Structure 1
Amino acid sequence: MTKLHLHLPRRTLLAGAGLLATPGILRAQGAWPERPVRLVVPFTPGGSTDILARAIGAELQDALGQPFVVENRAGAGGTVGSDLVARSAPDGYTLMMGHIGTLAVNPSLYRNLSYDTVTSFDPIVLVANVANILAVNTRKLPITTAQELIARAKASPGTITYGSGGNGSAAHTAVVAFCLATGIELTHVPYRGTGPMMNDLIAGQIDMTMTGGPPILPPVRGGLLRAIGVSSLTRLSSAADIPTLDEQGITGFDAVQWYGLVAPAGTPRPIIDRVNAASTRALQGEKLKPRLAAEGADAAPGTPEQFRALIISERERWGDVIRRANVTNE
């Protein structure tokens, strides 16, 4: 029997095997990273997203041998920075620290997003879960328990003010969920980021907030604010003296922020896997894990597929809250 030998061009063989890619992508899969990686934070400095991005970025820089440069691109509830990343080349050199607001809340809050939080990004790794802490300026709001807050709010609807990092931010939606659960009315004061909001809360320009532990715990420990309750179902290991809101009679209340790394859709899977592996090692290590825990953040690495499933389920959950409360981005 005569054997037939086909001499096909290498490009054809690669295409037939599903491996055809541009030279840049092939180089990225093999040698990435060859230059600094941009890590976009779609909020101002000083908030939980920024704090966690800088912490994991430093670890990735050590593990992968190139700088991970944090770039704050704030605006419109995180949509400005998210749009930038969604339109960036999927070559591994632009990543984003996404969080519950940018990836799960904004699709219901902003009707004309230029991107889709599921199809425009490739999830890499869930970095941390961060319980929200309800904290007050005691000069403006001299209370010690959630039930005192509820009683004051019911006695004078709308007179208590709370700050957030912007319309649709995690702090905003957490308080909205709290109001729905307790039947009270509070007045929202949105800021252009958590950092400016915290400055005004400490200065007494607003009464309270409910936001993530990293920016809240230092002023609480310094006596500048009082922590009233934690939004998770269990107490924080690093602040076990703060009772949960569930313990204080808001049964089943659970509003936890989460943060994770994403890349533009189409980023080569070897790059996704490499960042996932390096992040997981760092988050489970003796250096970063206790540091995050001390700031109220629980390291929570997993697979990209698990992170995608979380994004999808949380979009549904918080979309329902936004519809019920008629929250808008105005």
Structure 2
Amino acid sequence: MKRRNALAFFATVATALVFCAVAGAQEYPNKPIRFIVPYPPAGGTDVVARILTEPLGATLGQSIIIDNRGGAAGNVGTEIAAKAPADGYHILFTLSSHTINPKLYGKLPFDVERDFLPISLAAMIPQILVVHPSVPANTVQELIALAKTQPGKLNYASVGTGSPGHIAGELFKLKTGVDIVHVPYKGGGPAVIDTIGGQVQMLFVSMPAAWQHVKAGKLKAIAVTSDKRSVAAPDVPTIMESGVADYVVNSWYGALAPAKTPPAAIARLQAAFASVLNQPQVKEKLLAQGAEAAPSTPAEFDRVIKDELAKWEYVIRAANIKPD
């Protein structure tokens, strides 16, 4: 009798626990969600995150709190996110350096595949190849021809060693055989200023950093690095369509959760991103920054990460890129 009562008690408790777990999952989210941005305020990642927080909060019924944790090229904030509770309330919002840093820095206190679950891509933003107006080249092929007549004489700037712009420049060298010299800067502002001033001839940088200066005639646009033309600059060709085979460098922004985050939370967040990124006003705000909304499934985002880890490992090794 006692054994029967005990079994009945435990069965009741188990049922209650299952009910509570299901109820908890159905109620998610029931408190504010923290977006860990591993870069300082006002940078591109922060700007894109802030465009999304209000509509995401409205869709999820909870506020989104931005927590900027810059440092070590994004590695500080990424480590914080990797070690955060896997509860659906701690999300890493980052950019494509997430797949560059592991291959550039080697041993890191986190593993981008093991320690994170992809939620959704948020936006794509091309790098753009611009030159000083005095450079006698208006197309990719003209620039390649010019560089080959002056090996080691032309410089290209980027926002820093291992940045997407640096990777774009080194891939350009590998694909075309030109000998151009990398000049790393600490941020987009100084790199753009020196290219406008003619201290360097070429620059690979994100669209938002350069496009206003292209429109003002201070820089000359040669091509974008993405696989298709930018909606923000439809008249600027891609490097690949300009004759450089298999050349694609897509910079992205996206959200990931710490490993072991409940699948229900991942699904709820992905659905929210899909909804928000299809809103016309959100698309317009992103486009004003030179970015294009790019919602995805977790599986699609995971494929991007895996493909880029392999691709950037090849570029970093072939170009012998070392961290500063």
1:122-147 CA deviation, whole Å, 9 max, x = no partner?
211011222221112325x4542223
- The partner residue of 2:59 within 34, 59, 63 is 63
**Pair 75,192 (structure 1): closer, same or farther in 2 beyond 3 Å:** farther
1:87 is matched with which residue?
83
Secondary structure in 2 aligned to 1:238?
A: coil
- The partner residue of 2:138 within 141, 144, 147 is 144
CA distance in 2 between counterparts of 1:284 and 1:86 reads 29
Retained in 1: the 8 A contact 2:57–2:63?
Answer: yes
- The partner residue of 2:31 within 17, 29, 34 is 34
What do you get for the CA RMSD once the two structures are aligned? Answer: 3.1
Secondary structure in 1 aligned to 2:285?
A: helix
CA distance in 2 between counterparts of 1:49 and 1:31 reads 26
- The partner residue of 1:267 within 261, 265, 269 is 261
Number of matched residues? 321
Amino acid at match of 1:30: E
Secondary structure in 2 aligned to 1:89?
A: coil
Amino acid at match of 1:325: A
CA distance in 2 between counterparts of 1:319 and 1:237 reads 29
- Offset at residue 44 of structure 1 (A): 3.9
Retained in 2: the 8 A contact 1:213–1:296?
Answer: yes
Gaps of 5+ in 1: none
Query: What TM-score comes out, normalization by structure 2 length?
Result: 0.85
**Pair 20,107 (structure 1): closer, same or farther in 2 beyond 3 Å:** farther
Which stretches of structure 1, 4 residues or longer, exceed 6 Å deviation after superposition? 14-17
Secondary structure in 1 aligned to 2:246?
A: coil
Equivalences for residues 71-110 of structure 1 within 5 A: 71-102=67-98, 104-110=99-105
Retained in 2: the 8 A contact 1:157–1:186?
Answer: yes
- The partner residue of 1:122 within 117, 121, 127 is 117
1:7 is matched with which residue?
8
**Pair 44,193 (structure 1): closer, same or farther in 2 beyond 3 Å:** farther
Query: Identity of counterpart residues, as a percentage?
Result: 39
Amino acid at match of 2:210: I
2:46 is matched with which residue?
50
**Pair 202,58 (structure 1): closer, same or farther in 2 beyond 3 Å:** farther
Q: Does 1:134 align with 2:165?
A: no
Query: What TM-score comes out, normalization by structure 1 length?
Result: 0.84
- Offset at residue 318 of structure 1 (A): 1.8
Equivalences for residues 182-193 of structure 1 within 5 A: 182-193=176-187
CA distance in 1 between counterparts of 2:201 and 2:231 reads 26
